[in-house]
Amino acid sequence: MIWLIGRSGMLGRLVEQELRAHNLEYAASGPELDVTRPDSIDHFAPKRKPRWVINCSGYTAVDSAESEEDQAWAVNRDGPALLARYCQKRGARLLHISTDYVFDGSLPDGYGEDAEPSPINVYGASKAGGEEEVRAELREHVIVRTAWLFAEHGRNFVLTILRLLKTRGELTVVDDQHGSPTYGRDLARAIVLVVTASRPVYGTFHFTNSGVTTWHGFASAIRDRAVELGLIPKSRRIVRVSSDQFPTAAERPSYSVLTCRRMISAYGFEPRTWEEALDDCLQRIASEHQARTFTLV
Ligand SMILES: NC(=O)c1ccc[n+]([C@@H]2O[C@H](COP(=O)([O-])OP(=O)(O)OC[C@H]3O[C@@H](n4cnc5c(N)ncnc54)[C@H](OP(=O)(O)O)[C@@H]3O)[C@@H](O)[C@H]2O)c1
């Protein structure tokens, strides 16, 4: 049996769909469970001992974390620490999700799984703190770092850009931050592959879709395909800007590309390109759009 935590989040919803699609026995917790409180973890824990706990919860508001530091550290470091302790006590394994933002983005060839974290914002530091706690508390853990997640629901760049393209004449998007957009559905598949492996390989892994782009490149690809699929009426101009011209509360890494070699060799899961994954996501949005009134967050 598997215990999914964070079922209401963007990734959590997709992981739950994937667990259901595989007919796996699972329990799932959403906002009723507070990962920062041990009593809440004990209260909502399933009666039967889980073989795996999947932690999809997180404090994910990168800019707000700069002013809500305590909350970010509580959810992103203390929460995983408590879950790892719970797993240690119950003899369960923990799969925990982390981020490319644990790195500063200064390496020209991107980051391997063993690279030393060097966060440059509170969110990244709190996530790196969570990783350390999990490693310290529990041997049987899998930490999966991912990046630039998108899906057809939740708060994410694809839906934001589609909404802005419908309401604004022109957009400005930064063109000096590089990363690998990752479809939550692909990550959810990889997660289920790990927790159903007969002989899981433990440790720290990376999973992103393959290929590298900038936020501007990503936005342009969303626009071009969305026009083809009839999701937006006509092509809008997307202007390139530098991060200096678009100041945000949190500094972001300029090249937070993750190499996924360990995931490929341990679990045989070869990620598709971010363009293929984006196309899949936009096609799903388009068919939902045809089926009912199009509502974007
Ligand atoms: N989104 C990305 O681009 C990205 C990139 C790299 C890594 N990640 C990591 O991927 C994981 C999933 O992210 P996501 O994009 O699915 O985020 P999300 O949509 O914000 O989901 C996170 C979930 O965690 C819940 N949560 C917050 N505080 C909690 C607490 N104290 N106890 C229990 N649950 C709590 C949230 O509930 P409320 O909404 O009710 O607060 C939300 O349902 C996170 O670990 C994140 O750091 C995300």
- Beta bridge pairs of residue 54: 4, 95
The reported pLDDT for the residue numbered 289 is 76
Q: Of 192, 181, 245, 228, which is closest to residue 21 (Cα–Cα)?
A: 192
Helix (H, G, I), strand (E, B) or coil at 264: helix
Going through 6-83 in order, the beta strands assigned E by DSSP cover 26-29, 52-55
Pocket test for ligand 1, best of 4, 11, 73 (most atoms within 8 A of CB): 11
Q: Range with the lowest mean pLDDT among 29-43, 49-63, 182-196, 234-248?
A: 234-248
Tokens at residue 172, please? 């400005």
| CA dist list (Å): 25 to 41, 79, 96, 156 | 19, 24, 19, 29
| CA dist., res. 192 & res. 198, Å (int) | 12
Spacing, Cα 6 to ligand 1 middle (Å): 7
Q: Does the beta carbon of 6 sit less than 6 angstroms from any atom of ligand 1?
A: yes
Mean predicted confidence (pLDDT) in 22-37: 98
Q: Choose which CATH entry (3.40.630.30, 3.40.50.720, 2.40.240.10, 2.120.10.30) describes domain 2-155+182-210+256-271.
A: 3.40.50.720
Nearest alpha-carbon partner for 187 in 165, 209, 155, 161: 209
- Kindly name the residue from 26, 123, 183, 255 that is annotated as catalytic: 123
Written as six digits, the tokens of 111 are 């980051």
To test the pocket of ligand 1, the residue of 41, 44, 60 to mutate (highest count of ligand atoms within 8 Å of its CB) is 60
CA distance 225 to 248: 28
Residue range 144-185, pLDDT digits in tens: 999 999 999 999 999 999 999 999 889 999 999 999 999 999
The residue whose CA has the least distance to atom 30 of ligand 1 is 34
Output the CA 143–ligand 1 centroid distance in Å.
Answer: 15
Q: For helices 274-291 and 184-195, what crossing angle results, to 10°?
A: 110
Does residue 97 line the site of ligand 1, with CB under 6 A? yes
Nearest CA-CA partner of 139 in 73, 85, 98, 199: 85
- The mean pLDDT of the chain is 96
Q: How confident is the model at residue 212 (pLDDT cuts 50, 70, 90)?
A: very high
Q: Is 255 a catalytic residue?
A: no
Where do the domains of the chain lie? Answer: 2-155+182-210+256-271
Residue-wise pLDDT for 96-127, tens only, equals: 999 999 999 999 999 999 999 999 999 999 99
| Percent of the chain surpassing pLDDT 70 | 98
